[in-house]
Amino acid sequence: MNKKLEPIVQALQKEFDAQLEEFRDEVHLFIVPERLVAALTVLRDKHHFELLSTLSAVDYWPQENPRFHVIYQLTSVSKNLLLQLRVPVSGTAPVLPTVTGVYQNANWRERELWDMFGIKCEGHPDLRRILMPYDWQGHPLRKDYPLGYEEPQFTFNFDEIDLRKPYAKE
Amino acid sequence: MPELQEVTVDDLKHLVSDRAIKGETMLLNMGPQHPSTHGVLRLLLELDGEIVLNCIPDVGYLHTGVEKNMEAKTYQKAEVMTDRLDYMNNMGNNLSYVMAVEKLVDLDVPPRAQALRVILTELQRIASHLVWLGTSALDLAAMSMFLYCFREREDILDIFELVSGQRMMTTYFRPGGVWRDVPVEFEAAVRNFIKIFPKRIDEYEALLTKNPLFMDRTLGIGKLSGEDALQYGATGPILRASGVNWDLRKNRPYTGYEQYDFEIPVRTEGDVYARYLVRVEEMRQALRIVEQALDKLPMGPVRSDNRKFVPPPRSEIGVSMEALIHHFKLWTEGFPAPKASIYSAVESPRGELGVYLEGDGGPKPYRVHWRTPSFDNMQVMPIMVKGLLVADLVAVIGSVDIVLGDIDR
């Protein structure tokens, strides 16, 4: 682990009961959803993590509790450090507090989180779908969502499938 | 099939002011088909006469589900999708992806491949900035710039065709090295470009930098402070034009950038003109890197000889049983990656291009997430355009240098 990162990690472990995990010099801290906003505020104001590089999630379906890990990839521009917060979220009621108050660019990233994974961010100012059409059903990046293939039409079932196809007809 | 829902004014009420609901200000759609939105971007503008009060971007028209699709392909096969993300930065996308894979499976890359990667990504940076320069000048009615810029971009695309057989969707970098060594004509082609290009940048600058019409349209337009830029996640030339010296090539060197001598242009004004100056200077610096890397280009292999991850050359397959087995295993099954996750980022022409890659022990990625720079750079645009004229909005969109394939993924 980076020498400059050690005191920050220790402080977070003590203050927020964070669990540490390391892989190839990358630091992942597991934290509970209730303390997420407080931890990010401390990281931004006290430890100079000015930039939220990315925010996304991983779906571990069929595991239900926790089903998702939500990832907050933080960058400290002034100290040149990287840190990843991971927040386990249950699959039965995937709800998180919004972090748009701490990092403004979480706005679109949280909309993407809702769109792709169906994880709701409570208190978000504008929680709509962002990439998929607004009337889309389901959340595509979930593991139980099929990739989706077109049904092959043969001569014997051409008309039957054609009736179900969603393109404009006369 | 479910019934289509209609978006009503109620759905957008929280985004626009009360004056718009009462009909005092006008709501106007710009795009998705509009020549100066640089792709299929829709902006919902709230206008008071010619003045932009609010700008609500609507993205997603180019969503292709790359992240989902990559989960269904092996690590090697998923790479071809990376070219299609940011179609102005194909080499850079390849680089970020192969670096992520190499970090995940812990694979070494020979020095010659590293140097080739640097040369080609820097050429790609120049090509991307040329497209930006041409199109954003075109938005400001400088028609001839577009023709000049595309003339030089053509030279770079010819070099790409020389090395990879493709002008744009190159997929030239592979996990463990590059696809194959460059042909003998490569060096002469790049040297020729290095010779002509500085004069061409001078030509562009002669046309624009002190041009009073251009300065009128750009100076003081679309101001952004460094704190706002960071708070909204903006990276790349936008951040550096706002006075924050942050470039991953310098701050977190990768692929051997620490060996080369180059400078990071930083301006403090944070307006459209500053972004123009930063990008033009970046082209000069990129050319310096290309020249140094070409001078120092070491000889040797261009692919790792770790046969568990990198397929053997064709010549070995005919004579070695081992090689045949490796070839067969790698192209049917793929290579396994550990059950772990990494985040790897490179500096693309637009900013921090990051890949979050998670393996599950099998040959396919469990999750790939792209931290694309345009996505966050687009979010910061609405705060830059408030209070400007509609014509200035066009200048600001040009200066943000968005690529819709990069936003929508």
Model confidence pLDDT, tens digit, residues A107-163: 999 999 999 998 998 888 888 888 888 878 888 888 888 776 667 778 888 888 777
Task: Give the model's confidence band at B9: pLDDT under 50 very low, under 70 low, under 90 confident, else very high.
Answer: low
> Chain B: residue nearest A125 by CA?
B14
Q: What pTM did the predictor assign?
A: 0.89
Inter-chain touch B369–A103, beta carbons under 8 Å: no
Model confidence pLDDT, tens digit, residues B135-161: 888 888 788 888 999 999 999 999 999
Question: What is the nearest CA distance from A80 to chain B, expressed in angstroms?
Answer: 7
> Chain A: residue nearest B1 by CA?
A166
pLDDT attached to residue B95:
93
Largest Cα–Cα distance in chain B? 80
In order, the DSSP letters of B57-102 are EE--TT---HHHHHTTS-HHHHHHHHTTTSTT-HHHHHHHHHHHHH
Residue type, B49: G
pLDDT attached to residue B318:
87
Better-predicted residue by pLDDT, B38 or B264: B264
Is the CB of residue B232 less than 8 Å from the CB of residue B219? no
Question: What is the nearest CA distance from B204 to chain A, expressed in angstroms?
Answer: 33
SS in 3 state form for B161-189?
HHHHCCCCCCCCEECCEECCCCCCHHHHH
Query: Tokens 């990129």 sit at which residue?
Result: B286
A100 by Cβ neighbours in 10 Å (0-12 / 13-18 / 19+) ranks as buried
Domain boundaries, chain A: 6-164
Assigned token pair, A81 = 């450090």
Inter-chain touch B380–A105, beta carbons under 8 Å: yes
Angstrom CA distances, B259 to A72, A81, B91, B99, stand at 32, 22, 20, 18
> Among A2, A45, A53, A59, which would you mutate to test the B interface (most chain B Cβ atoms within 10 Å of its Cβ)?
A53
> Chain B: residue nearest A82 by CA?
B343
Beta bridge partners of A83: A74
Inter-chain touch A54–B354, beta carbons under 8 Å: yes
Task: Give the model's confidence band at B1: pLDDT under 50 very low, under 70 low, under 90 confident, else very high.
Answer: very low
Assigned token pair, B292 = 């140094």
* Cα–Cα distance measured from residue B249 to residue B262, given in angstroms and rounded to the nearest whole number: 10
CA B275 to chain centre: 16
Inter-chain touch A134–B65, beta carbons under 8 Å: no
CATH architecture of A6-164: 2-Layer Sandwich (3.30)
Question: What is the nearest CA distance from A135 to chain B, expressed in angstroms?
Answer: 6
Q: Are strands A68-76 and B177-178 parallel, antiparallel or unpaired?
A: unpaired
Inter-chain touch B231–A105, beta carbons under 8 Å: yes
3-state class (DSSP) for residue A135: coil
In order, the DSSP letters of B272-328 are HHHHHHHHHHHHHHHHHHHHHHHHT---S-SB---TTTSPPPHHHHTT-HHHHHHHH
Inter-chain touch B352–A53, beta carbons under 8 Å: yes
Assigned token pair, B282 = 């970046």
Which domains occur in chain B, in start order?
9-58 (no CATH), 66-305+339-408 (1.10.645.10)
Inter-chain touch B60–A135, beta carbons under 8 Å: no
Inter-chain touch A77–B408, beta carbons under 8 Å: no
Task: Give the model's confidence band at B7: pLDDT under 50 very low, under 70 low, under 90 confident, else very high.
Answer: low
**How open is the CA angle A96-A99-A100, to the nearest 5 degrees?**
130
- Closest by Cβ to A23, choosing from B1, B59, B340: B340
Q: Are strands A95-97 and B26-30 parallel, antiparallel or unpaired?
A: unpaired
Element (H, E) at B197: helix B185-208
Model confidence pLDDT, tens digit, residues B344-391: 999 999 999 999 999 988 899 999 999 999 999 988 888 888 888 988
